[in-house]
Structure 1
Amino acid sequence: MKIKLGIWCDYGVTLEPSEGIGVFVANLVQGLIEQPSIDQILLVSKEKQEHLLDPLKKLAPQKIHVLGNPKPPFYLRKPWKMLRQADRKSMDLYGKGIRNSSLQGSVYRFLERQILRSKSKWIDSVDLWLLPYVGLDQEFNKPTVVIVHDLVTYHFSDGSSPDKLNAFKRLVTQVTQQASIVACMSDFILQNDLHGTLGLPHEKTRMV
C-alpha cells in the first residue's frame, strides 16, 4: 500500500533544510523518497516561504510537493486569536477553558470550525502527517506521528514566564495525546521524557 505523507514545516517560520530541526527534516526526506511505500510527500511551509523548501523538492520533483500554509481571512483570524488567548488565560487561572462556556465558547468553536474548514481540503489530502516538532497548535483528522527532540524547557525554564511555560506544557500534552506515534532519537529521551515526564504508554512510543 502506497501512502501520501505530509510533513509540517511551518512553525511561525519555515524549517529550513540547512538549520536546526530543518536538517533533521532534510535527512528524513532523503531517506523517505527511497521508500517504495511512499507515493507522494507534501511539505508545508509558511505562506510565501515556499522557496525555502526548494532544495528538498529538487530531490524528487515528481514526488515532493510544497504548499504554503495560508492565513485564514482576517475577519476570522483576529477574533479567533483573541478568544484563543482568553481560553488560555482561563486555563491558567481556573484550570478550564472557555470552549464549553456560554456565548464566548460558542463563538470560539464556530470560528475554529470555519478556520479548520478553510484548510481541510489539503490537510485531509494526505494519509499521515509527520510533525517534526511538538509545538504545533493545529487539529488533524488524519493520524499523526510527532517527534520530540527534548523537553529542556520542562526541566530548565530559562526565564520563561509561568504562563508561557504552562501554555507550552498544555500544547505538548495535547499534541502527544492526539498523536498515533510519538518518536524521539535517543533512549535517554525515550525513557526520561516520553515515558517519564509525559507518561506516555510504551506501545505509543518509538525511537528513530
Structure 2
Amino acid sequence: MDIILNGIFSGIVLAFLIGPVFFTILQTSVERGFWSGFSVAVGVSLSDAIYIFLCYLGVYQVFDKGNFREYLAYFGGIVLLLFGLYYLLIKSRKLSKYDPERIKTQKPVRLFLKGFIINGLSPMVLIFWLGTVGVATTKFGYATPGKAIPYFAAIVGTVFITDILKAKLADKLRSALTPKFIKTLNIVVGIVMVIFGGRLIAMADNFSTF
C-alpha cells in the first residue's frame, strides 16, 4: 500500500505541473468535447509509460547522454513552436465562426498522436522520469519489478485519471462557448506553446550539463 500511495503522490505532483500538455488537454476538450480530450490524455499516458519502461530497463544510459538531451530539446522546441504558430496564425482564424453543434470531431488517432508527440518530445518529461526512476530504485528501493511496476503504474494511472477529470471539467464549458472565447483560448494555447518552445531552444545547451 505504501508503494501505491507514493506513486499516487508522485502522480499528483506531475499531473498539476503547468505546461503545454495541460493547456492542450483543456483546449481540445473545450473545443471538441470530452472524448477528444480523452484521446489526447491516452497519448500522453502512453508516452509516459514508454519513458518509464526505457529508463527502468537501463536504456536511459543512452538517453542520458548530454548531446541526446540537447538535440531532443532543439527538436521538441521546434515542434512546440510550430504547434504554437499553427494555433496563433491558423487555428484562431478558422474558429472565428465557431459553431459547437457543427464542429467536426477529429479522428481519435490524430488526437492520440497529438498528446503523444507534445508530451514525448519534451526533454523535461524525460528528465522527470530519469529522476523519478533513479529515486524509486535507490531511495525507495523499488528496484525489483514487484515493487517498481505498482509504483509506476500508480503514477501513470493517477496522471491519466486527473487528465480525464480536466477533460470532463473543460467539456462542461462547451455550453457557454462563444466564437470570441474559442479564438481567445486558441491564442492563449498558441502563446503558451511558443513560450515553452522558445525556452526549450534557448536552454538546449544547458541540458547537456544535467
TM-score by shorter chain over 0.5: no
TM-score, structure 1 normalization: 0.25
The TM-score, its normalising length taken from structure 2, stands at: 0.25
Q: Which has the higher contact order (CA 8 A, sep 6+)?
A: 2
